[in-house]
Every structure is written in structure tokens, then in C-alpha cells.
Amino acid sequence: MDHFSSQLLERAVNALSDLPGVGRKTALRLALHILRQDRESVQTFASAILDFRNQVKYCKVCHNLSDTDVCEICSQPRRNRRLICVVENVQNVLAIENTQQYDGLYHVLGGIISPMDGIGPKDLEIDSLVERVSAGDVDEVIMALSPTMEGDTTCFYLSRRLEGLPIRLTTIARGVSVGDELEYADELTLGRSIVNRVSFHQSSN
């Protein structure tokens, strides 16, 4: 245990070392960094965290993080509202938004089916997805889940729940990463990318 001569320092280090991936030494380094900042900056830092924790909401439609009841993405009129992309979490929304290749809406499940971690369909926003799609006005549901065992299980479960609804159900393409050397791609990925080959003229956009 550390022998701090200042309770204030000790409390700050304890608080910072509660953050994931931050050990005692890093926490001390962060605390001393904070001490070098002017008071207004530290106040802004603390307010940003408190406001985020106390005021952020989950969008009533897609369950993405939002400042308002319905999030910015769901509210944008230029978005294609007939297209829903199902993702595991908020980070995935951000990752897809950053590609600037998608103009539809999202549906954030808030996790992935994982019996090992005790996460079943009831723990996720699956009922609300089925409801949303059943209400009509949706042409396609894209399942953008990680190509893992849990992701595949969730895709399979979703496909069962959405069966019979008049929509096109798709998953994002799995294949060799852009810029990857073919010889280093794993067999499963390479195999899938051959089976799911696309027309050359279609692939280049």
C-alpha cells in the first residue's frame, strides 16, 4: 500500500485507479498531470464527465446514446429510414458512422447473446427490434455483428425472430481485409470470401 502524505492526493489517485486499465502508478501520473492544468480546465473536465453521466439518454427508437429522447441519427430527415443496421453497442455505431458509407438507421442491441456470460435474448433490445420491424416501413435489416461464435448465434436468433416479416435480412460481408496479403488471410475468412464472391463491377464502389 502506498504511503501518501496527502489525503487529497490519495483520494484522487484512488479515484483514477478505479478506471479500467489504470494502475496505481498511472493514476499518480494522471493526478500530477491534472495538478499542472489550470483550475478552469479541470472544472471543464469534471463537468464533462458529470454531465455525460447525469444527462445522457438512450434513444427511444434505436437505443443509441443520445442527448435527446430520439437521437440525432434517428432524427435526421436525409437518412434512409427503410434501412436498419443492428449492432452490438455504441462503439459499433461510431465505427460505422466513421466509414461515412451508411445512411440508414441503427438498432443497438446493448450486447450479444453469450450463454457463457449469462447474457440471453431477454437481456438485449431484441423485442424492441422485432416490434420496430413489425410496424412496417422497413425494407432491410443488416446484422452488423462481430464474426464470432456469439455474433453468429445472435444472427441466427435474430433471423428466427424476424422470420416471415416482409424484409430483406442481410449481414455485413466477411472477407479479406482491404490491404491484406491473401497468403496471410486465415482459411475460414478466405473460404467465405470465395463463397460470397461479388461481381467485379459491384465491388469497386
The answer to whether the beta carbons of residues 83 and 104 sit under 8 Å apart is yes
The x, y and z cell numbers of residue 102, run together, are: 451508411
For residue 121, give Cα distances in angstroms to 15, 84, 127.
Answer: 34, 19, 9
**In the window 110-149, what residues touch a copy of itself (CB under 8 A)?**
none
Q: How far is the CB of 92 from a copy of itself (least distance, A)?
A: 11
Vertex 64, ends 126 and 142: CA angle to 5°?
Answer: 55
Select from 13-21, 118-126, 133-141, 162-170 the region that touches a copy of itself (CB under 8 A).
13-21
Q: How far is the CB of 18 from a copy of itself (least distance, A)?
A: 7
19 binds a copy of itself (CB under 8 A): yes
Residues in the chain: 205
72 binds a copy of itself (CB under 8 A): yes
**In the window 89-108, what residues touch a copy of itself (CB under 8 A)?**
89-91, 93-94, 97-98, 100
Cell numbers 498531470 label which residue? 33
Select from 83-91, 155-163, 173-181, 186-194 the region that touches a copy of itself (CB under 8 A).
83-91
SS3 61: coil
80 binds a copy of itself (CB under 8 A): no
**In the window 32-61, what residues touch a copy of itself (CB under 8 A)?**
32-35, 37, 39, 42-46, 48-56
Contacts of 130 (CB under 8 A, 6+ apart): 161, 162
Q: How far is the CB of 179 from a copy of itself (least distance, A)?
A: 20
Nearest to 1 by CA among 9, 118, 10: 10
Q: How far is the CB of 101 from a copy of itself (least distance, A)?
A: 12
